[in-house]
Amino acid sequence: MHKTLLAGVSALALSLTATSAFAQDIVRGEGDFSWDSLDAFEAEYGDVSGEITLWSPWNNPGDAAQFQAVVDFFEEATGVTVQVGSSPTYEEQARIDIAAGSPANITILPQPGLLADFAEQGALTDLGAEATDWLENNYAAGESWAALGQFAGEDGEVRQYAFPFKLEVKSLVWYSPDNFDEMGYEIPETMEALLELQEQIKADGGTPWCIGLESGGATGWPATDWIEDIMLRTQSPEAYDQWVTNELPFNSPEVVNAIEIFGSIVKDDANVAGGTAAVATTAFGDSPAGLFTIPPQCYLHRQASFIPSFFPEGSEAGVDYDFFYMPPYESEPDLGRPVLGSGTLVSITRDAEGARAFLEYIKTPIAHEIWMAQENSNFLTAYGEANPDTYSSDQLRQQGEILLEATTFRFDGSDMMPGAIGAGAFWSGMVDFVNGLSAQDAADQIQAAWDQL
């Protein structure tokens, strides 16, 4: 293994000792956890022992300690010693270690595109058809999740190389329950009803949306999430996949239509706090503040499950703020209940018995429930056997229900596109669109960048 990884593993392992699962009052055999699944796992893998290394994206103290809690029970059940490492440049370090031929046994990343590159290089271990079958049979919208970890290998054959674990929901609209109660607004169940609510808010003298696209060098990314959610509600999952790979050109009528729908919201001054001109210059983390002012500067904010970390200090979930699922169009019943999100994928980058055992471990409900139960956790799962009662908050439980009720899940499209597009032309094209470019011209501009690859 790369010496930098070894150093990072040692430092992180030491730093987490005091915050392991056993120090957080999770006691084996107690609580609503699926301890029987751990017992069954231990009966089969209890004699594995040895040592494995694991490289993860969880380098902040909270996530790192919570993941270590999951690892602790694996170590106790198997006798395997796990060295967990991470760094702020975890993607680049993974790339370096693989290029050097010294990767961790297990590499966990939130970038399917990067893992696809590793698979093509022959750097990932085939998890087998049984992993595909397991995901399809045990995860809600399982085919979507299985496909997310399927890549072409060195020989061009598509296989299951990665397993999804720790998910994130992006198809959420945030609001203030007090503001809704005061105005008599109801949670919309369809996209048509959401757009009707938008018009009602304006008719009542309010402003529907808070939207901000500024994010330093990543300015524009929040708009890409809007387009992706709209694409999933107006086009089939297959068309979405074709769009992500550019088999469906970015300037096709289907994509231009999605951009125009977003434009009907964001390019109407009366729809957005501060008017359209403020959208591109308002920091995405500052933009939801309008939900909390008196009187409210806006009533709605579309953003992923992480956004409460940007809400005013002391804001209480379910009291000061809440959310609802961004609904589908009633006029598109065949598209079901699509969910946009992201997550991490677990892969074996240096095969070992302990690494195989770890993949089997995260097929158990307990491996999910331990993280679900952590205080201040943001862990979500689509695993139907994990007990939702172990979620540490009602908000997480409700977001987990959105995943379980999804008929289709699709990963953030811009993250799946080549970097020059998803983290370049798409971002800038959306800013140009909000600032005055037509939907067709913005789409043509982004397609031109594709054509230059």
**Above pLDDT 90, what percent of the chain?**
94
Same structural domain, 212 and 295: yes
pLDDT in tens, 177-224: 999 999 999 999 999 999 999 999 999 999 999 999 999 999 999 999
Q: What is the CATH number of the domain that holds 269?
A: 3.40.190.10
Q: For residues 237-252, b (16+ Cβ closer than 10 Å) or e, as one string?
A: bebbbbbbebebbbbb
Instruction: Let me know the angle formed at the C-alpha of 303 by 239 and 61, rounded to the nearest 5 degrees.
Output: 115
Give the pLDDT score at 7: 33
Please determine, for residue 4, whether its predicted confidence score (pLDDT) is greater than 60. Answer: no
Same structural domain, 298 and 442: yes
Same structural domain, 222 and 101: no
Mean pLDDT of the chain: 94
Same structural domain, 145 and 274: no
Cα 10 from Cα 395, distance rounded (Å)? 35
Cα 380 from Cα 376, distance rounded (Å)? 12
Angle between helices 237-245 and 221-234 in degrees, nearest 10: 140
Domain that holds residue 355: 3-168+342-411
Same structural domain, 351 and 240: no
Give the pLDDT score at 24: 62
Give the pLDDT score at 5: 33
Same structural domain, 313 and 353: no
- Of 379, 395, 411, the position where a domain reaches its end is 411
Give the pLDDT score at 143: 95
DSSP class of 308: G
Cα 425 from Cα 220, distance rounded (Å)? 10
Number of domains in the chain: 2
For 144, the enclosing helix (H) or strand (E) is helix 142-148
Same structural domain, 90 and 204: no
Same structural domain, 287 and 222: yes
Give the pLDDT score at 349: 98
Please determine, for residue 452, whether its predicted confidence score (pLDDT) is greater than 60. Answer: yes
pLDDT in tens, 14-64: 333 334 444 367 999 999 999 999 999 999 999 999 999 999 999 999 999
pLDDT in tens, 107-129: 999 999 999 999 999 999 999 99
Give the pLDDT score at 25: 76
Name 150's bridge partners: 160
Same structural domain, 203 and 218: yes
Same structural domain, 397 and 374: yes
Please determine, for residue 103, whether its predicted confidence score (pLDDT) is greater than 50. Answer: yes
Please determine, for residue 133, whether its predicted confidence score (pLDDT) is greater than 70. Answer: yes
pLDDT in tens, 229-243: 999 999 999 999 999
Same structural domain, 330 and 422: yes
**Above pLDDT 70, what percent of the chain?**
95
pTM of the prediction?
0.91
Same structural domain, 282 and 380: no
